[in-house]
Structure 1
Amino acid sequence: MSLGYFSYPMPVNEPVLQYAPGSVEKAALKKTLAELKKKQTEVPMYIGGKAIKTGKKVRMHPPHEIEHTLGFYHEGEEKHVKQAIDAALKARQSWAALPWEDRAHIFLKAADLIATKYRTYMNGTTMLGQSKNAYQAEIDSACEIIDFLRFNVHFLSEIYKQQPISSPGMHNRTEWRPLEGFVLAVTPFNFTAIGGNLPTSAAMCGNVVVWKPAHTQVYSAQMFMRILKEAGLPDGVINLIYVDGPVLGKVCFSHPDFAGVHFTGSTGVFNQMWKTIGENIANYKSYPRIVGETGGKDFVMVHKSADADVVATALARGAFEFQGQKCSAASRAYLPSNIAEEVKARLVAQVQSMKMGTVEDFSNFINAVIDERSFDKISSYIDNAKKDKKAKILVGGNYNKTEGYFIEPTVIETKDPKYVTMCEEIFGPVLTLYVYDADKFEETLALVDGTSSYALTGSIIAQDRDAVILATEKLRYAAGNFYINDKPTGAVVGQQPFGGARASGTNDKAGSMLNLFRWLSARTVKETFNPPTGYHYPFLKES
């Protein structure tokens, strides 16, 4: 029952705590890290509000300290996927019928719980489980996830206000219905906030969700799920399961009530999902919504007018924050010949000053990559570069997995603009530089645009405004998020809606109203107050 029109104004972004020496937040976070490391957490799946323990335990450990056990999660199988779908569909009608303000307040309360009571726990589980330093965790598992929840409530309230006009004698309205069925959310390891946003953005719109996080993100995902339950999320609305991808796909993509997938991960997996959905299209009650943010080979294009210090800093931060494990991380850079040596010298100096180690030592800028598989893949690119005459390692190039999956931030220079590390996504702390003739800026823009199949993020660094204008035009389709005089990372909810096109995804812009439209199905209702009683129109009379 609705008793009024409720307002949810545009929020402000959650302030980012700095964790400076002697600060209250630094002491609190260190205390939580110590607390989390002292105990082993047993993590169940959550299906229909019940904690499901299968007995098939999988050990969780910090990527930077592989001998330490954080706890165990209970791995599921095919029957648990079916149970999760059944639980979601059972909750569907009552959740869709819940007044909007009651749905909204669940997610607003969750945001407030993260901002206060659970801030150090969201950051602590992210730091230990995904090897993020304190600042990278703060902007992810605290600020961004809070922003997603608060801004999405505002965006959805604005969507609900969008109504058609009415003529005399009638009234028109639009109902913004949830989709008919369940939504599958598949989330990656690298951002706890994505793990939170993909299921909740769909659920906020009245949908029910089956959520499968990456195995390497379970430690922080379960913390968020516990917060949602404390905030009052009804049983079955979001069901958190830990299963292998093929098992998940087999059940979900063959189910007649499959209504959509909200995905962040690799391009190859997303392509396979799309293919499978297409092959099963006749089985579904409605055409599923397919929303995905996938890979990137993100660029920094530098003009001859650029400031060398600005360029070096943008590359150091853009390429190596969170070990380059961001979809948006700078991984290829084009330096003009007139300032190339200056930029390289400054960049090498910055990289050499970066400390690498555990997350508990807040002086470490670099931590570990996520797992052994990733470590082996990244190190193979480095090994090949060491042997290739087309490549030269300027700094870094060492790695070790004795205690954790540590790879030094590595800068490669190549004389071949189509060298493998300029083209293929590596997803690690590897940046490749190509020096171009400073007088061939426009030709190099064409090279940037045509080198990669991806189109996620990119930047232009220049003091010459004409160069900025030209790059913005020529690279219009090369990046869904384009940065001027900045690194190509760090999108903020409500400020830079995030997503790319080409092989980087469907560009449905997480952190904006555009994404929420994908989880809604509009119904237009026309009501006539004084309906006609005969078929005759005035034009039928001749006189």
Structure 2
Amino acid sequence: MSAPNPDHQPLVEGPRDPEHDPAATYALDPGYVARLTARVLATTGEAKEVLSPLDGAPLAHIPQSSDADVEEAFARARVAQEKWARTPVKDRERVLLRLHDLVLARQEEILDLIVLETGKARKHAFDEPLHIALTARYYGRTTAKHLRSERRPGVFPALTRIDVNHVPKGVVGIISPWNYPFTLGLCDGLAAIAAGNAVVAKPDSQTMLTALLGAELLEEAGLPRDLWMVVAGPGSKVGTSIIDRADYICFTGSTATGKIIGKQCAERLIGSSLELGGKNAMLVLADADIEKAAEGATRAVFSNTGQLCVSIERMYVADAIYDRFVERFVARTQAMTLGATLSWENDMGSLISQDQLDNAVAHVDDAVAQGATVLTGGKARPDLSPYFFEPTILEGVTPAMTCFGTETFGPVVSIYRVTSDEEAVDRANEGEYGLNASIYSRDTARARRLAARVKAGTVNINEAFAATFASLDAPMGGFRESGTGRRQGAEGLLRYTETQSVATQRLVRMSPMFGMSDEAYAKLMTSSLRALKAVGRA
């Protein structure tokens, strides 16, 4: 293979069926890779090799950016943003709606790249183009409404007019992770450009190709190329360079890194939104439908091999149904189809790297050494792929064990017996995280009352995480050490704007007139304030 095909599909060598020859490898068309990597602004001459977690074979060499490249990216983005900010909102919305159609039309290509770069099951990769299509359509239909100037009451009725405008911040720096490279590489930036900003993006080095395909699709949808600049390199170098120049930062990743970024942004007095780690809890109440809860738990824990910020790592199950629920949950887990291929048949795929595998192994080994019981799983599966780890359910986990309160970010869950709803909520609120939670109960009104007491930014009832994540008008983000700021909804767009108040004063000025003394003016204002209170004025 030497050149990309005219339909822009990645030409993949290697088997797609689950029973493939372990000795075979996947390979992307070199011309296709060259076209994508040419979008990286990089002049260092250095490149980083990317390996596929499916088979450990090389996928691409990603050019690396310098500080000067980042500076140029911002310079070009600022020029493009000045024009874009004057572009009618309806024209911006049309770009997003065209992106919606492109993503759906080219989803097989997108899925191939996601699976090749992350190792996740294809069924879980599908969540990404689905979410981006939803996001593009949502902001393609609602941006004008969100950005419309608002009328607010002035200090004097009829005499003072107040208009509140939403002004774009300028150039937004987006530092996105590897676990959802298409979704998180694009979704936050779509809101930024809808609001009239430009973007300088630094995707994670392990999943650059998927993010670069997203940038290509944006340009095909009609976005000016310099409005979405892509740089590549280590976060400690390129990420810091972005923070030094951006007007706002959006970061998704670990709490430890988020704290560092938050401090750097504070030093420059720029805003940031930080979607960070979680140790998310599921509550299975005594009246839950056991079969539905077991099905939901399987998705909640093992989607994307547990490498999902909102995945469930702790389960609190009512004593009355504990044994029956555990039996069904273990059975469903053991029935999963495991594999690291491009096939749709896999229920769970591979971890992305040796680091992720080592972390999962360490958490499980530590728990077992201290007395925890493995109900199923618990082992690496090098026969499936270099970084594959079995879906694992632990019982008897105690606070002394690493996985009790530390995020595993892998296919590992701890399950606990509780005797009341109060105990379930109290235990779910333990720790410093607060990103997502799930409650299973037939009494949804009761579940909603309990949800209001759970310290988490999103709570799903009779669902794992997808209901909130896919409801684009609903904001999403974390409490406590799970982050600050919100993506999605009006909040997800308005974070990229400055709020500007414009006052128009009529007839009278805000000072003494017609020879009135300051003392008389003060008395008049005092009388006015009393009168406005008497008539119910806010």
TM score, norm. by length of structure 1: 0.83
* d(CA) in 1 for partners of 2:362, 2:61: 30
- Aligned with 2:37 (options 3, 25, 44): 44
Listed one character per residue, the Cα deviations across residues 340-381 of structure 1 (whole Å, up to 9, x for unaligned) are 221121111111111211232322111111111111111111
Structure 1 residues 435 and 419, CA gap change in structure 2 (3 angstroms): farther
Listed one character per residue, the Cα deviations across residues 73-112 of structure 1 (whole Å, up to 9, x for unaligned) are 2122222222212222232322222222222222222222
* d(CA) in 1 for partners of 2:229, 2:10: 31
- Aligned with 1:251 (options 223, 241, 265): 241
- Structure 2: which amino acid aligns with 1:459? S
Structure 1 residues 393 and 470, CA gap change in structure 2 (3 angstroms): same
Please tell me whether the aligned partners of residues 93 and 139 of structure 2 are also in contact (alpha carbons under 8 angstroms). no
Please tell me whether the aligned partners of residues 411 and 431 of structure 1 are also in contact (alpha carbons under 8 angstroms). yes
- Aligned with 1:155 (options 127, 138, 142): 142
Deviation, structure 1 residue 236: 2.1
For residue 396 of structure 1, what is the aligned residue in structure 2?
A: 377
- Aligned with 1:521 (options 492, 498, 506): 498
- Aligned with 1:443 (options 402, 417, 423): 423
The yes-or-no answer on 1:471 pairing with 2:461 is no
- Aligned with 2:59 (options 48, 51, 70): 70
Listed one character per residue, the Cα deviations across residues 272-325 of structure 1 (whole Å, up to 9, x for unaligned) are 1112223x33xxxxx311111111111111222223222221211110111011
- Aligned with 1:349 (options 328, 331, 356): 331
What is the CA RMSD across the aligned residues, in angstroms?
Answer: 2.9
Structure 1 residues 30 and 385, CA gap change in structure 2 (3 angstroms): farther
The yes-or-no answer on 1:133 pairing with 2:124 is no
Please tell me whether the aligned partners of residues 45 and 242 of structure 1 are also in contact (alpha carbons under 8 angstroms). no
- Structure 2: which amino acid aligns with 1:232? G
Please tell me whether the aligned partners of residues 96 and 139 of structure 2 are also in contact (alpha carbons under 8 angstroms). no
- Aligned with 1:220 (options 188, 210, 214): 210
The yes-or-no answer on 1:94 pairing with 2:83 is yes
For residue 317 of structure 1, what is the aligned residue in structure 2?
A: 299
* d(CA) in 2 for partners of 1:253, 1:464: 47
Deviation, structure 1 residue 242: 0.7
* d(CA) in 2 for partners of 1:31, 1:394: 41
* d(CA) in 1 for partners of 2:132, 2:444: 35
- Structure 2: which amino acid aligns with 1:348? V
* d(CA) in 2 for partners of 1:77, 1:45: 15
- Aligned with 1:503 (options 481, 485, 505): 481
- Aligned with 2:173 (options 184, 187, 192): 184
- Structure 2: which amino acid aligns with 1:505? G
Deviation, structure 1 residue 492: 0.4
For residue 59 of structure 1, what is the aligned residue in structure 2?
A: 49
SS in 1 for 2:233: coil
For residue 22 of structure 2, what is the aligned residue in structure 1?
A: none
User: Which runs of 5 or more structure 2 residues have no equivalent in the other structure?
Assistant: 1-6, 15-25, 522-538
The yes-or-no answer on 1:462 pairing with 2:448 is no
User: Which runs of 5 or more structure 1 residues have no equivalent in the other structure?
Assistant: 1-27, 282-286
* d(CA) in 1 for partners of 2:318, 2:485: 31
Between 1:332-341 and 1:86-95, the stretch displaced more is: 86-95
SS in 1 for 2:225: coil
* d(CA) in 1 for partners of 2:414, 2:161: 60
The total of aligned residue pairs comes to 493
Please tell me whether the aligned partners of residues 123 and 347 of structure 2 are also in contact (alpha carbons under 8 angstroms). no
Listed one character per residue, the Cα deviations across residues 442-466 of structure 1 (whole Å, up to 9, x for unaligned) are 134212212x211111112223568
Listed one character per residue, the Cα deviations across residues 184-206 of structure 1 (whole Å, up to 9, x for unaligned) are 10111122212101222212211
- Aligned with 1:431 (options 383, 396, 413): 413
Listed one character per residue, the Cα deviations across residues 150-186 of structure 1 (whole Å, up to 9, x for unaligned) are 212333211232421586577654432111x422101
* d(CA) in 2 for partners of 1:316, 1:88: 43
- Structure 2: which amino acid aligns with 1:268? A
TM score, norm. by length of structure 2: 0.84
Please tell me whether the aligned partners of residues 252 and 276 of structure 2 are also in contact (alpha carbons under 8 angstroms). yes
Identity rate of aligned residues, in percent?
23
